Chains A and B, each alone.
Chain A
Amino acid sequence: MTFVTPNASKIVILGDSGVGKTSLALRFTHNEFHDLELSTVGAKCFTKSVHVADKDVHFSIWDTAGQERFQSLAPIYYRNSRAAIIVYDITQKKSFHEAERWVDEMKRHGDEDLVIALIGNKSDLNEYREVKMKVAQEYALKNNLIFLETSAKTGEHVEDLFMKIAEMLPSVHAKIPENLDHNFGIVSISKLEEKEKRKEKKNCC
């Protein structure tokens, strides 16, 4: 018996420094974003519950430091996590390569049923884009990753990301259907974008 919420799922956020790992978690859990007006976040374990597929999933999101010199410490953080969100900055090519490295590491050292999501953050900065969406998509497809481009600033796709992870978590679906696995995240992007636009419109009004 433990006193942790049932269905609690630990999620670790990995990625180069400055790609927006914390902002992503903050946007999802508090629907906040802090740009230049800086926040007082520190490092936190973010928590939030979502209801998906008739189950409550309780997320415990662990933030990590992305600098290269701290990479050797990452296993301490991702140990026992159910999902890994690997974030890169679409305006920083280097961060994408870093993300690839994280994908490799998680494939090698993560649990067998670890859900991995590759996230291109800062989609609001499209004009400075260095990483093509298609390249990342193909890479994600090849490696069976959830893939989304998000913006912690506008909130674009952030909610979707966590809902997808919630759906994919083994406690909700004992086994992930093969076909779903391959197409996951990509087929639905256009739909999600539509949904997002609708949402944004609502917010405007």
Chain B
Amino acid sequence: MSQIEKETLSQNTFFQNFEINVKNPDFKSLVSNPLVLLLIPRQEEINKITPSSILLESHILIQGQQDPTQFITSNGIKGTLFKDATNQKSHREFVYLFETTPKSIKTIRKYIEKQDFSSIFKNFVEGISFPNIIDTTRPSIVYKSSIEFSEIENPVRICVISNVLGLPSMIPEKIISTTRFIKAIWSTPTQSVQYESAGVRSTIDTENPSDPLHIPDQPENKQSLFEDFKVAINDFKTFLDFLMKSIPQVYREIDNFITSILSSSKPTTKQTGVEMVNLINQMIQRIEDLVPISGHSKSEYQSQIQIKLEKWIVEETYDRIYYQNSDIDHQKDHEFAEKMKRLFFVELEHFDTKSRLSRPDIFQETQKELRKITEVKPPNEKLNCITDACKILGKIFKSNEGADDFLPVFFYVVLKSNIPRLPSTIEFLQFFTDEQKLIMSEQGYYFTNIFSAKCYIENLKPENLTIDPISFALYFSSKPKFSSQKLNSGLTSNANSRLSQNITSNSIPDYEKDYLLKQKFKIEHDFIDYETYLSQNLLNPVIYKSELAKKEFQNFENPQFDLQNIPSFKVSLESAQKDLLDIMNPFNGKSHNPKFNDYFLPKIIEFTNSHINETDQKSSFDFENFTFDKISDLIEKYHEVHKENTEYKTHLAYLLKSQSYKK
């Protein structure tokens, strides 16, 4: 240890030191030590690091501080210091801090390289102050001797210099600052070190330090930066490249945030969304400080930056941030999907609106747009889907009563669109969008429409619809005949149960469990989407309606025969069989025929049920096992055998009669 170092250390009552065994360095315990933060290059795995390649960083730490402390740096940056130095938030705040004082850092690094510690204290004046507590605090410095790291045989000494600058008596007990926080990256003077963190790659030349920490005091040509910016902002990838090259501090900041989300073991919360929105706003401010964005399209540029940064963060972290709290959201989505499934019978006329969907193509277009909400990731893109959907739907509108007429139709379309995971999508948008945007903007208005559609559907009662409450209850309370088990493919369920087993097994480390859990949710969700689609669009309507038809059929007495209509019924029956094929095959792309669906299919089922199953006449038709092939075979067979049979003719007449009865 050099003379100067000793001197310095003796001045500090809060000097701390650590010894780690380089031969078998326990990096994990080092990292978990609140006094030290190890930063390693992202690409490296912790157990592959050789001591000489370690890049160390340490943190300022305030111990014993109960509440987060607000501070202001001498150049006006506000921040918050959290008591837990390992907390990601505090990390971020500090990265921000030191980046605002690049000049100091450059100076300090020079002194460190010269091992001139006393000069550091003299010259390092730009720091942070705690307005209400103490204003002599300075950022602390960690000295990491990379030279010592190369001496493998000896224990490595990490010297930690406190930030109290020889004035320990003035520091209240409760704020004992110990370590950290200059990102001191250097090596022996003859070597250059590759600094690789946050995706920024550059070589630190110790003779001529133009490293990522270097921020030009006077941007050489602000105007040319603006020109570059104007080109870059039009494309996501180009913009990221632009940031990386021209405004690396912003690039690193965002990248750090992404890393902090990905590496955090805690579930992300609403707070993460707030942090993201704030960070983006801060970064826009910083970009504006460096790039002279001006002119009438200034706010347009701002929103473009906002959209790009948001896209970057969200696309990198989506799996992590989408399900805030997996269990609850998962449950909500499931309940909502169930509710929508049960509301299959709701039609537009139940909304008491004069509007009619005169153009089914626009209706489908709207649904297509709405369903995209779950495919795109960035909040802004999701909001655009909603906006576009509303605008498309607005196009068919022939009304001067705006929302009075529009909303019922929109609610109906949402209900019929089967948007997967709507509740969690809405929650995600609420958390990860600037609140002002949701309150004020056009996108916000359309978001409010879908939000209220969700609330409406969630709380839908017969009195909210123009529908006879008994019918509502009858439809709504009938349990879907197709259980999820029936639809569950063997592969999916096997994979899922295997996963479940793995998750509960104790031999798996927590972080892997986390991953497996995520996979499990994914499988389940894909499955819910599929199941909902099948049951709502294809199967359940048929079954429910057939049950109603059965009742109608039973109530029908004293029929009058009209055999003349039989041939035309035969034609209908044949076309009905065709349609049945369409319905039962979701992949042939043909839309179902409502005439068939509403009327003939239930009759056929009833028909087959009561008269065809000759071997077991009394048992009711087994809905669980009916298939198209079975039904159509039976119908054909029956028709062949009985075409001259009086009973058959009678039943055809029944059908025709009940059709006119229905009218």
A interface list, Cβ under 8 A from B? 1-5, 8, 10, 17-18, 21-23, 25-26, 34-35, 38-45, 47, 60, 62-67, 69-70, 72-73, 76-77, 79-80
Closest residue of chain B to A69 (Cβ to Cβ) is: B464
B395-444 CB contacts (< 8 Å) to partner A: 395, 397-404, 406-408, 410, 434, 436-437, 439-442, 444
Cβ-defined contact, A22 with B401, below 8 A: yes
Cβ-defined contact, A38 with B400, below 8 A: yes
Closest residue of chain B to A47 (Cβ to Cβ) is: B442
> Which one, A1, A60, A66, A76, contacts B404 given CB within 8 A?
A66
Cβ-defined contact, B406 with A65, below 8 A: yes
Cβ-defined contact, B452 with A22, below 8 A: no
**With A47-B442, A65-B403: A42-B456 Cβ-Cβ less than 8 Å:** no
B107 at the interface (CB under 8 A from A): no
Cβ-defined contact, A3 with B303, below 8 A: yes
**With A41-B400, A42-B397: A67-B408 Cβ-Cβ less than 8 Å:** yes
Cβ-defined contact, A45 with B445, below 8 A: yes
Cα–Cα, bound, A44→B465 (Å): 24
Closest residue of chain B to A25 (Cβ to Cβ) is: B402
Chain B residues in 8 Å Cβ range of A26: 402
Cα–Cα, bound, A77→B403 (Å): 12
Nearest 8 interchain pairs by C-beta: A42-B394, A22-B402, A45-B445, A2-B436, A43-B406, A65-B407, A63-B403, A17-B404
Cβ-defined contact, A22 with B455, below 8 A: no
Cβ-defined contact, B408 with A77, below 8 A: no
* Known contacts A2-B281, A39-B399; 5 further A-B pairs (Cβ under 8 A): A17-B401, A22-B400, A41-B399, A45-B445, A69-B463
A132 CB, nearest partner CB in chain B, Å: 25
Cα–Cα, bound, A63→B465 (Å): 21
**With A3-B299, A34-B400: A42-B440 Cβ-Cβ less than 8 Å:** no
Chain B residues in 8 Å Cβ range of A8: 440
Cα–Cα, bound, A47→B452 (Å): 21
Cβ-defined contact, B452 with A73, below 8 A: yes
**With A40-B398, A73-B452: A65-B408 Cβ-Cβ less than 8 Å:** yes
B86 at the interface (CB under 8 A from A): no
Chain A residues in 8 Å Cβ range of B285: 1
B374-410 CB contacts (< 8 Å) to partner A: 390-391, 393-395, 397-404, 406-408, 410
Chain A residues in 8 Å Cβ range of B397: 38-42
Cβ-defined contact, B400 with A77, below 8 A: no
Question: Does more than half of chain B's interface fall in helix, strand or loop, or is it mixed?
Answer: helix
Chain A residues in 8 Å Cβ range of B451: 76
B interface list, Cβ under 8 A from A? 281, 284-285, 299, 302-303, 306, 352, 390-391, 393-395, 397-404, 406-408, 410, 434, 436-437, 439-442, 444-446, 448-449, 451-452, 455-456, 459, 463-465
Q: List 16 A-B contacts (CB under 8 A).
A: A2-B437, A2-B440, A21-B404, A22-B402, A23-B402, A35-B400, A38-B397, A40-B394, A40-B397, A41-B406, A42-B393, A42-B397, A43-B390, A63-B403, A65-B407, A69-B464
Cβ-defined contact, B401 with A18, below 8 A: yes
Closest residue of chain B to A72 (Cβ to Cβ) is: B459
A34 CB, nearest partner CB in chain B, Å: 5
Cα–Cα, bound, A44→B403 (Å): 8
Cβ-defined contact, B352 with A67, below 8 A: yes
Closest residue of chain A to B285 (Cβ to Cβ) is: A1
B204 CB, nearest partner CB in chain A, Å: 34
Cα–Cα, bound, A135→B451 (Å): 37
Residue among B440, B448, B459 with the highest chain A CB neighbour number at 10 A:
B440
Cβ-defined contact, B303 with A22, below 8 A: no
**With A43-B406, A67-B408, A70-B456: A76-B401 Cβ-Cβ less than 8 Å:** no
Cβ-defined contact, A38 with B398, below 8 A: yes
Cα–Cα, bound, A60→B437 (Å): 12
Cα–Cα, bound, A17→B404 (Å): 6
Cα–Cα, bound, A70→B457 (Å): 11
Closest residue of chain B to A61 (Cβ to Cβ) is: B445
Cβ-defined contact, A60 with B440, below 8 A: yes
B466 CB, nearest partner CB in chain A, Å: 9
Chain A residues in 8 Å Cβ range of B445: 43-45, 60, 62
Chain B residues in 8 Å Cβ range of A43: 390, 394, 402-403, 406-407, 410, 445, 449
Closest residue of chain B to A39 (Cβ to Cβ) is: B400
Cβ-defined contact, B394 with A76, below 8 A: no
Closest residue of chain A to B277 (Cβ to Cβ) is: A2
Residue among B284, B302, B402, B459 with the highest chain A CB neighbour number at 10 A:
B402
Cβ-defined contact, A40 with B403, below 8 A: no
B437 CB, nearest partner CB in chain A, Å: 7
A48 CB, nearest partner CB in chain B, Å: 13
Cα–Cα, bound, A17→B439 (Å): 24
**With A4-B440, A44-B394, A45-B445: A23-B408 Cβ-Cβ less than 8 Å:** no
**With A65-B404, A79-B439: A42-B452 Cβ-Cβ less than 8 Å:** no
B528 CB, nearest partner CB in chain A, Å: 26
A95 CB, nearest partner CB in chain B, Å: 12
Cα–Cα, bound, A38→B396 (Å): 11
Cβ-defined contact, A80 with B439, below 8 A: yes
Closest residue of chain B to A37 (Cβ to Cβ) is: B400
Cβ-defined contact, A10 with B400, below 8 A: no
Residue among B393, B395, B439, B465 with the highest chain A CB neighbour number at 10 A:
B439
